Amino acid sequence: MSIIRDIVAREILDSRGHPALEADVLVQDAAGVEFRGRAAVPSGASTGRREALELRDGDPARYQKRGLLKAVANIRETILPALGGMDVFDQALIDERMCEIDGSPNKSVLGANAILAVSLACAKAAAEVEGLPLYRSLARHGSDDRSPESRGDSEGDSESAGTASNPKTMPVPMMNVLNGGAHADNPLDIQEFMIVPVAAADLREAVRCGAEVFQTLKAALTQRGLTTAVGDEGGFAPALASSQEAIELILEAIEQAGYAAGSDVHLALDVAASEFYEEGRYHLRGEGRILDAGEFAAWLENLAKNYPIVSIEDGMAEDDKEGWGILSNRLGDRIQLVGDDLFVTCPATIARGIEEGIANSVLIKLNQIGTLSETLKAIETARSGGYTVIISHRSGETEDTVIADLAVATAAGQIKTGSLSRSDRVAKYNRLIRIEEDLAKAEGAYYPRMAAFAPRGALEMR
């Protein structure tokens, strides 16, 4: 038994300079040796309406109402007394306990930020006790599936993409080099224009490719007299007239950097369509057009036809089920259609979406649901329906790199963690580089390339 002895919470700053919640969980093992796990919770800007509640003080006298003293107090006064004395390895029980005490459907009593900070800090403390890197510890303890297959005991496992307790699959990154929408002050309607190095030999080479394209894009912007200031996720945010112009510019940078667009590097978009869906229509302000769902689906289909796009996230608004149906029918068999605001990492919502046949991929954000256990359940639910999963950051991040470890531990196959600049973004890439190096010394690492975009079963049967 390794017992939770104390939990300390505090306000730190996120990448936008707003307060973020951090928790330290202190545990003692049977020999009386102390260990600590520390976790910080990120914050979104284009948040889904059904996300678990991020508890902020609302006090105008502190941090423009964004203070987190209530969440800090909830950890100290309510969560600590409830978890004190529990075994830190009982992750599921710890998470259940916090949900029970909260008692609300969206964690609005204690705050999803308070609950998640503790949930993740427990997982990290457990890894410390075991003396394992987080991705290995998460893979061992984080899965509900304790079957021999999931433990990697089955024959011929070295040929598989890695299993729950035998991680080896590195995620293919979707790198957000050009920012628009709610993440930038430019007229671009689409929030994220991402490059995807689908032909790299390994993760390290994928990062090099991304960085080279990013620097080439910077030079191209300078040459055109456009700003190279970056948006919230470290991508450029130039005042370009249209999405097409943004895409063309990126394709040009890919080629100029010495890569082949459409084979070495593909594109991915996060439309974040909920942000410009008003009264049943899509208001493309940059394009100066207002479209209904059918017209907007046709607009997206056209982009997908003209450019090497492998993935479109939130192509329809979270409340536009009909639009999602249209988009899924038109593009679902050709392209990855990712639900972010649509699914908010909620297992039940994902299960419903699978039943309805909308989207074919799920964006996984820990703080949308608020515990590690529920996040793992969301991943499992998505996969059981044949949907791909992408582990994701938030636009307001911290130096915490837990999503890199989670991506490897769950063999997610894909990660979305921003551009190739700003330490809050590159910290995750750097962590992945180190994990890959670590894996190379042991069982070897696997970079899935295009297979990451095939339905889950295909990745496993590679």
Our CA dihedral for 337, 342, 348, 351, rounded to 10 degrees, sits at -20
Binding of residue 45 to ligand PGA (CB under 6 A): yes
Residues 6+ positions from 70 with CB-CB distance below 8 Å:
55, 56, 57, 111
User: Among residues 15, 39, 41, 47, which is the contact residue for ligand PGA, using CB under 6 A?
Assistant: 47
Specify whether 416 is catalytic: no
Specify whether 233 is catalytic: yes
Binding of residue 425 to ligand PGA (CB under 6 A): no
What is the CB neighbour count within 10 angstroms for residue 61?
8
Least distance CB 220 / ligand PGA (angstroms): 25
Q: Considering CB distances under 5 to 8 angstroms, the limit depending on partner class, which of ligand PGA, Zn ion, none binds residue 207? A: none
Segment near ligand PGA (CB under 6 A); pick from 44-52, 80-88, 296-304, 370-378 = 44-52
Q: Cα–Cα distance between 105 and 86 in angstroms, integer? A: 24
Binding of residue 98 to ligand PGA (CB under 6 A): no
The size of the interface with ligand PGA (CB under 6 A), counted in residues, is: 10
Q: Cα–Cα distance between 37 and 22 in angstroms, integer? A: 11
Least distance CB 396 / ligand PGA (angstroms): 7
Question: What is the token pair recorded at 404?
Answer: 């890199």
Least distance CB 426 / ligand PGA (angstroms): 17
Question: What is the token pair recorded at 388?
Answer: 């791909």
Binding of residue 202 to Zn ion (CB under 5 A): no
Residues 227-286 within binding reach of Zn ion (CB under 5 A) = 270
Q: Which contacts qualify for 21-25: CB closer than 8 Å, 24 or more apart?
A: 21/68, 21/71, 21/72, 21/113, 21/114, 21/117, 22/117, 22/398, 23/75, 23/114, 23/117, 23/118, 23/120, 23/121, 24/121, 25/88, 25/118, 25/121, 25/122, 25/124, 25/125
Binding of residue 414 to ligand PGA (CB under 6 A): no
Q: Which among 51, 192, 212, 233 is annotated as catalytic?
A: 233
Q: Which residue is nearest to Zn ion (CB)?
A: 340
Q: Which among 365, 377, 416, 428 is annotated as catalytic?
A: 365
> CB–CB of 83/26 below 8 Å?
no
User: Among residues 340, 400, 424, 460, which is the contact residue for ligand PGA, using CB under 6 A?
Assistant: 340
User: Among residues 340, 380, 400, 424, which is the contact residue for Zn ion, using CB under 5 A?
Assistant: 340
Q: Considering CB distances under 5 to 8 angstroms, the limit depending on partner class, which of ligand PGA, Zn ion, none binds residue 168? A: none
Binding of residue 275 to ligand PGA (CB under 6 A): no
Our CA dihedral for 247, 249, 253, 254, rounded to 10 degrees, sits at 20
What is the CB neighbour count within 10 angstroms for residue 84?
12
Q: Cα–Cα distance between 358 and 381 in angstroms, integer? A: 14
Residues 365-394 within binding reach of ligand PGA (CB under 6 A) = 392, 394
Q: Which is nearer to ligand PGA, 26 or 188 (CB)?
A: 188
Q: Which is nearer to ligand PGA, 54 or 436 (CB)?
A: 54
Q: Cα–Cα distance between 10 and 216 in angstroms, integer? A: 40
Determine whether 3 is exposed, middle or buried from the number of CB atoms within 10 Å of its CB (0-12, 13-18, 19+).
Answer: middle
The size of the interface with Zn ion (CB under 5 A), counted in residues, is: 3
Binding of residue 272 to ligand PGA (CB under 6 A): yes
Q: Binding string to Zn ion for residues 282 to 321, with x set by CB under 5 A, is what?
A: -------------------------------x--------
Binding of residue 44 to ligand PGA (CB under 6 A): yes
Residue from 381, 430, 441, 189 nearest 291 by CA: 189
Least distance CB 22 / ligand PGA (angstroms): 18
Q: Which residue is nearest to ligand PGA (CB)?
A: 44
By the criterion CB under 5 A, which residues form the site for Zn ion? Answer: 270, 313, 340
By the criterion CB under 6 A, which residues form the site for ligand PGA? Answer: 44-47, 270, 272, 340, 392, 394-395
Residues annotated as part of the active site? 233, 365
